[in-house]
A and B are shown apart, each in its own frame.
Chain A
């Protein structure tokens, strides 16, 4: 782990630096590819909507010796509908029957109890009308909309509109990837998934905001110097917060992974699993987008500004004249394929 520590020091001193901004079109390409895949998957495969969206019942039985096949047969016979049966880590069964209304479910429950030789009270029943999941989803959309508007306003005030726009795009990007993964892999979409997805909102932006905060600080007096262009400063900001980003993401993913693999593994499918799965995918996407998408987007937007254009001109002119004089620019930006060689200190903007 001290390697990461060393990396931190090196990143800090600028001994190493990854040219995220210079290679941004590569990452844009990657993201567009992922997004297209997600959309295609969504269009072709669709989402595997859980019972909450279709209406039906989920029964959870206590430990039983009956086989999955037997239980499936029983459940289908009792309900007259298709049943999906999963064995749980506890030895019990999770039986999903779609298209069951709440009244019919009571009979099925009774029948199942008789078939499995358990008391009715031991069977856990979750009955949902078809509109339930839809409502959660609708509310989630409303929440998403409201949140996006508020957060864009907030970011526009706290930072600037370009960052707000970039953060929003990165957020949509994360959500698309997460939904795409669900479509692609065919994970079931439940209200738990929706909850997880909504949490990504906050978390994805959390990461982005931390990086932006560094960028804001780094580019404070940017026009008062001629050493760096905006994109170079942005790149240094990303590098400067890279270790934090990695640490934060690892620390956030650890509990979620525990929830996903231990909590989920112990109980089989269930709300714990649904929430943690979408969180896991979304958190990873969020960490990726804050580094590879959000900040480069800010650069793209920012470099259109006349002031930034002028700055770039000045910086390049200065470098050219330095090169003409035969000096080696101490902080020249190398070719974009090489790690950047930059001088020490993290706030180049403040130096001049």
Chain B
């Protein structure tokens, strides 16, 4: 970017200062307007300034899964963690990857930190549970009462068909159209003692349904009845109910679960966990060479293979929906394939209506349990808003005082020229502020304390560009030039210096941004942004303004307060200058 090229670069509209100024003015107006239109009039504050909890997780690479820490898995993990955290009923929690192996979870103030940490940190809550009953997501209102016949074409069937997209069957042969009937028959199946199949898919189903399918003859059980009642009442379309469903249930107990089938919510009554997620050795989404369809293949460890063979053996003997098992992740049903035969040998595949994305997602989830990776907590920071606000205030006060000192110094030293510098700093500040505010919405940029530091440090970097340029102009005046040629002749050289040094600064910021995480990143981002804006401001504002002001009497006559008084600067006698001009430097000729 800033290689000190000898070639032509736009010279900051040497002859046309008005155009450059117009560009930057338009940019400022557009950014400010954008800021107001998008109602983002302040930069989004980071967790350290606004208050809240920030949890940094580091992915652990486990033996045998060294390659597991990769982008796909990190993104899957982010998705799962995000759902968990926001499943608490908190909005605005954000989960992001940072660097190669970190995930930052920022939870705004006002939420239960302990609960959040539990939610975020835990892994492997993935279970395979046999399906006892399935129903549409909504509770059994009038709909539930309808069509009590066993051949129920009740609400279950069409939904199930919809759901076929995401609820593939274990065998391609499994037919979706039979689901309605299969369900009712399944409810009669010997192993599942659900005597009176009520149509709305056991919405008011009986009191003995709950026990595990493998239990041969469970006695009527008040707990099961209770579960049935809850199942009937459960409304999976209600977010709050969804969040609570199945919480605190032991894997060995039957449970309720919600899940999405296609666009629709469904609810399940599920038996005890038959296989745990940790028994899945590997799983992935791939294309079935025979059918050309996306499928998910699974590979179990020994324990898992035995358990899976057993449960599939039992399930295969049943009817819909009890020949299905549900893959339950954190209480949500993510898939409910049906089984037609016992699957032995520890390998299984799920097929039916997957897209590449859904197959790979499911593969990832199965492969690594609830989270594709295991994480350790690296740091937990809670910040109260009060203190964060104080820190921000201190930083801003410090910044303001620092700026004031810079202004005073510039005024004393550069006099009139200082105004150009100050206005340029102001332009720079407006651009920085509006961009930061907009980026808050755009890319989730949050102004944290280190970022504030970065912005303050950047005052120095920005001011430096003016100093380089001003010193060059003054040097030219010392050569005996009048202001207008001095301003133009000083520019190419100053420009090169500014570009070269800003490039180094930007390089440092970019490297920091890429290799580091968390707090350092915010700092690096701000530094990089302000460095870029420095270039923009110097080219499009400072230089053109300088060109314009060089035409004014105040500056061009070298008024003592202009900062450009030739006498003060010790300009050479004219005699010398004429000699100098006779020898125009070849360097400049190339550069200008």
A: residues with CB less than 8 A from B are 1-2, 4-6, 8-10, 12-13, 52, 60, 62, 90, 92, 102, 106, 121-129, 131-132, 135-136, 139-140, 142-143, 146-147, 150-151, 154-155, 157-158, 191-192, 194-195, 198-199, 201-203, 205-207, 209-210, 213-214, 217, 220-221, 240-241, 243-244, 247-248, 250-259, 262-263, 266-267, 270-272, 275-276, 279, 344-347, 350-351
Contact = CB atoms under 8 A, between A and B. Distances in A.
Contacts of B569: 5, 8-9
> Would you list the 8 A-B pairs with minimal beta carbon distance, nearest first?
A255-B402, A202-B508, A252-B460, A9-B570, A258-B402, A263-B398, A254-B405, A128-B379
Contact of A213 (B459, B500, B515, B517): B500
Contacts of A345: 580
Given A136-B517, A256-B457, A195 B450 contact: yes
Contacts of B592: none
Given A12-B475, A136-B520, A256-B460, A263 B397 contact: yes
A99 to B, nearest CB: 15
Nearest to A105: B380
Interface string B1-45: 001100000000000000000000000000000000000000000
Nearest to B380: A127
Given A8-B471, A250-B409, A272-B453, 18 more contacts: A102-B377, A128-B379, A132-B378, A136-B518, A139-B99, A143-B511, A198-B520, A203-B461, A213-B4, A221-B586, A244-B467, A248-B463, A255-B399, A255-B403, A256-B460, A271-B519, A272-B398, A276-B453
B471 A244 contact: yes
B384 A275 contact: no
B491 to A, nearest CB: 14
A202 B527 CA distance: 10
Interface string B559-583: 0000000001110100010001001
A12 B497 CA distance: 18
Contacts of A150: 507, 511
25 contacts: A13-B572, A124-B384, A132-B378, A136-B516, A147-B508, A147-B512, A158-B3, A199-B457, A199-B508, A202-B508, A206-B502, A210-B500, A244-B468, A244-B471, A247-B467, A248-B463, A259-B398, A262-B401, A266-B394, A267-B391, A267-B394, A271-B449, A271-B450, A344-B576, A347-B587
B134 interface: no
Contact of A350 (B402, B409, B587): B587
Contacts of B4: 158, 213
B517 A202 contact: no
Nearest to A102: B380
B504 A205 contact: yes
Contacts of B568: 2, 5, 9
A258 B405 contact: yes
A122 B501 contact: no
Contact of B449 (A62, A201, A272, A351): A272
Contacts of A123: 384
A147 to B, nearest CB: 4
B230 interface: no
B381 A194 contact: no
A146 B395 contact: no
B179 to A, nearest CB: 48
Contact of A124 (B382, B459, B503, B585): B382
B316 interface: no
B511 A147 contact: yes
A92 B387 CA distance: 10
Contacts of B518: 136
- Which range contains the number of B residues in contact with the other chain? 35 or more
Given A191-B520, A250-B409, A345-B580, A217 B587 contact: yes
A129 B390 contact: no
B168 to A, nearest CB: 41
Contacts of A135: 58, 378, 517
A60 B502 CA distance: 38
A282 to B, nearest CB: 11
A345 B585 CA distance: 12
A129 B57 CA distance: 11
Contacts of B409: 247, 250-251, 254
A142 to B, nearest CB: 5
Contacts of A213: 4, 496-497, 500-501
Contacts of A8: 471, 474, 569
B418 to A, nearest CB: 11
Given A254-B409, A257-B402, A270-B391, A262 B585 contact: no
Contact of A132 (B379, B386, B464, B497): B379
B133 interface: no
B114 A106 contact: yes
B210 interface: no
A48 B458 CA distance: 28
B523 interface: yes
B406 interface: yes
A252 B382 CA distance: 32
A259 B400 CA distance: 10
Contacts of A5: 413, 568-569
Contact of B384 (A10, A121, A251, A259): A121
Contacts of B502: 206
Nearest to B405: A254
A127 B453 contact: no
Nearest to B100: A139
Contacts of A276: 453
B509 interface: yes
A143 B460 contact: no
